[in-house]
Structure 1
């Protein structure tokens, strides 16, 4: 009395709101040679503090442990539109990249003065400034000390960035279900997702975001129902009535990434925050259609709705 079938869906999203969102970052060389990165985007569990620190470390050619991140504080942080609209990695990340490049230029200028040569004759090495010829060098700690006395060049840089475009990430989701003809119950057996979010900055964080978004999408597709009484009271006012999927409801989740390069993004990155919730509902609806011949148009696709829509000959 059960039918197994598959469904597929493709989706696209955006990377921030073009011409609107603003991301800002402040990067500072501390007096001990470490860096302090201050951002206005809040880490809501997406790992943006880690990702932005990784970007800064890549730009400044140092270990990520050498970058101290100060999270969003509206009294102290540079302005940022906020962690919404899939914008943080793409918009704020670009601000971090620009700020680090500007800071490197300032450090080269201070280092050149200390080495008594032109800025064009030195390069940034990650550990300090070194001459192109003769191998003379000064360390970051020395530059930090020099910046405290008789110095007119800032070792703290703040940059804001806003993008005129919003390059879309893409995702395909494929699901295998088992549908019980007697009850209308749908069980997820296997879900495979492939995401193109440009260059993946942190594979582990991108993977868990994708898995979490898929689980949320499955909940939206099959479980999470909101009903009101005639007086406006919500029937599902606790987790006893408002069902969200648990790990036991998920079957197998498989995630892979198709790498691409987005020229306008930091290190070629696009967003991943919201795209990952978009494919479960249409993919599951497609699978239910393949099993029953009936399209489900309302969410959630509960067993009752499915059972009531089944043709008698099924």
Structure 2
């Protein structure tokens, strides 16, 4: 018998590592083509205004300008979930920075000069900057035609309002639940819009050839979604659209769906066979690409005197910006996840997506979970303290376990949150905390610990599909053809490990393709922490299909039943007699028989995967026996130090424990978690998009918008629980986004445990903390 070495659970080197370390990796910005043109966009200087007149004549006459377009040239709406956006404003602008006109020229400098020559006359309209005001009757309508917009069936816009989606949970009679409660606690919480700040700004090149076929090179997380959206808007078949995905320098959700590709389409239609390149400036990146939505939350929770949660009512109002095509689904995801990690018998949730005259809301690592858990996890801590209970004791009394039902009525199994809490408690060195802390303050620094939990499911359609093709080369090496994108998370490496494990060939024989919708296998999108889970399952099936073909040829060669053979280290061999073997390279293109004839053929395996049994949520109640494919749980605990004199929070240590089912690559899993912790810490302490009273973004650069740096790095202790997922590859669950979700509420809870100060609005700046100290203690 051969003792096989497994690639699962092993830290192999990153597939993309050498190229990125040496600088040879190609991003869209590195691509250059002959006869390339360069685009610039004229953007609105009003948050809400009618367009009275646009005069492009001076720009068109400028030498070097090849085309000028406006909204009239391409008025078709685009979107993945809700078709509410056009490449350029048609009749009015809806946020400060919206594209109004585009120019393609022989250089960026000429394109910029042309933009400055375009004259636009506006009639300013009242702007809606607060979604709570936007919900009110009589508020200015940002999209009067909302009732006519196409949308997917799971989205429920309210015509003649600014509400683009309203997702409901009705689990039992919540008033009956409150009547059974001994105490009722209420709280309000807020998170602002923030930016993704990827290192690589959005970049795209678009060309339409003489046959009308579009080729698009894009820093994008979802090539097939881009193709689908453009095919629908252009009214052309998908075979007429090719999307290629070079390496993507950070996405975090910002590069999902169609972004800056759209304004290039009308220019490409006018300029056949001319590749047109557009690179956003850092200011445009901040203001004119997806931002994380703001959110206001109100929570009302009923509990017994023993500390058992009975009922909860939650209202979330999402500040989704001027266009909500992605935001409507974030609102939905937060709605069906609104129990958090808790087993609550009676629930009422209303999650509203609301148009405002601010930048476009979209996905940012967590897809609504960071925002929602900021509210829920602080609220749970507050209740524990009011009851005189330790926050961990309170959570353990109320968390979901096998057999619990969540907000949507799904009966849960393989729930690992208790193990995560207990492990985090041990690693952080938790000391029991009861009641409000009463520190004796004058100056100096105060130390304290805090904890927060989280839950997340992949937010994707019930039929979100993955596929993979495994193709053997003449020398036995393997091409893995997928359209999953490598955005820094290590997807290519993990999928190569899975492929090698199944095929029985060395991992370094696997070459993973970069996305090309003309040639690589279909992938819905690289979002939702679904690639290891969904694409991983497709790769397993494709590899097993290819392996079966190898074994069939081996059976023919050795004259034994297929079941008596296996593949390992690049050889097909007889299990009972491993010395009888044949190299994979010798049969990869087919078997040569003793008489010189051929048999079989090139080995090409295919695999497909769609999660089974996922059922839509009821429109009125949000109930479903299985509304999502799976859930992933996690916990973070922090140890912080607060400077009483300045209000500055210094995060000393973060413990992160996640139940990810099965660790495919320990180093990648750890690195993912470290990155998520820093991103969560950054949103907790620094990040906020600030606007003036007219809706203009005031801090569209790293000069004024602060993010965490190496100076803020805490000690990080990371551990994983492995409760296998029934249909996960080797039991693995998705967890890429989850690792930034609980950081901010854990820090907020630690701040309370340090000083008895509860700050319900992000970020927890030194100014806010110092003000709260002064108000509470008079110092």
The two structures have a TM-score, normalised by structure 1, of: 0.92
User: 3-state SS of the aligned residue for 2:718?
Assistant: strand
Determine the structure 2 residue equivalent to 1:8: 451
Tell whether 2:611 aligns with 1:163.
yes
Deviates more, 1:126-135 or 1:237-246: 126-135
RMSD (CA atoms): 2.1
Tell whether 2:661 aligns with 1:217.
no
- Kindly state the Cα deviation for residue 286 of structure 1 after the two structures are TM-superposed: 0.3
Give the Cα–Cα distance (whole angstroms) in 2 for the partners of residues 267 and 18 of structure 1. Answer: 23
- Structure 1 stretches (4+) deviating beyond 6 angstroms? none
Give the Cα–Cα distance (whole angstroms) in 2 for the partners of residues 124 and 57 of structure 1. Answer: 11
Determine the structure 1 residue equivalent to 2:764: 301
Determine the structure 2 residue equivalent to 1:312: 777
Q: Report which of the two structures shows the higher radius of gyration computed on alpha carbons.
A: 2
Conserved? CA contact 1:147–1:155, under 8 Å: no
The one-character-per-residue Cα deviations of 1:82-130 (angstroms, maximum 9, x if unpaired) are 2100001111011111111111111111222233444344333443333
Determine the structure 2 residue equivalent to 1:261: 724
Determine the structure 1 residue equivalent to 2:582: 138
Q: How does 1:48-59 map to 2 (within 5 A)?
A: 48-59=491-502
Unaligned runs of 5+ in 2: 1-442, 613-627
Q: How does 1:61-72 map to 2 (within 5 A)?
A: 61-72=504-515
Match of 1:239 among 702, 717, 734: 702
User: 3-state SS of the aligned residue for 1:101?
Assistant: helix
Conserved? CA contact 2:484–2:535, under 8 Å: yes
Give the Cα–Cα distance (whole angstroms) in 2 for the partners of residues 168 and 145 of structure 1. Answer: 42
Shift of the 173–133 alpha-carbon distance from structure 1 to 2, 3 Å rule, reads closer
Aligned pair count reads 314
- Kindly state the Cα deviation for residue 268 of structure 1 after the two structures are TM-superposed: 1.5
User: 3-state SS of the aligned residue for 1:144?
Assistant: coil
Give the Cα–Cα distance (whole angstroms) in 2 for the partners of residues 29 and 214 of structure 1. Answer: 40
User: 3-state SS of the aligned residue for 2:587?
Assistant: helix
User: 3-state SS of the aligned residue for 2:631?
Assistant: coil
Q: How does 1:1-314 map to 2 (within 5 A)?
A: 1=443, 2-15=445-458, 17=460, 19-131=462-574, 136-146=580-590, 150-152=598-600, 155-164=603-612, 166-310=629-773, 311-312=776-777
Deviates more, 1:248-257 or 1:85-94: 248-257
The two structures have a TM-score, normalised by structure 2, of: 0.39
Give the Cα–Cα distance (whole angstroms) in 2 for the partners of residues 64 and 120 of structure 1. Answer: 24
User: 3-state SS of the aligned residue for 1:170?
Assistant: strand
Give the Cα–Cα distance (whole angstroms) in 2 for the partners of residues 163 and 213 of structure 1. Answer: 26
Conserved? CA contact 1:122–1:131, under 8 Å: yes
User: 3-state SS of the aligned residue for 2:512?
Assistant: strand
- Kindly state the Cα deviation for residue 226 of structure 1 after the two structures are TM-superposed: 1.0
Conserved? CA contact 2:589–2:601, under 8 Å: no
User: 3-state SS of the aligned residue for 2:667?
Assistant: helix
Q: Return the structure number with greater relative CO, CA threshold 8 A, min gap 6.
A: 1
Give the Cα–Cα distance (whole angstroms) in 2 for the partners of residues 248 and 35 of structure 1. Answer: 43
- Kindly state the Cα deviation for residue 174 of structure 1 after the two structures are TM-superposed: 0.9
Give the Cα–Cα distance (whole angstroms) in 1 for the partners of residues 571 and 652 of structure 2. Answer: 54
Give the Cα–Cα distance (whole angstroms) in 1 for the partners of residues 715 and 637 of structure 2. Answer: 12
Unaligned runs of 5+ in 1: none
Conserved? CA contact 1:106–1:154, under 8 Å: no
Give the Cα–Cα distance (whole angstroms) in 1 for the partners of residues 706 and 575 of structure 2. Answer: 64
Shift of the 145–41 alpha-carbon distance from structure 1 to 2, 3 Å rule, reads closer
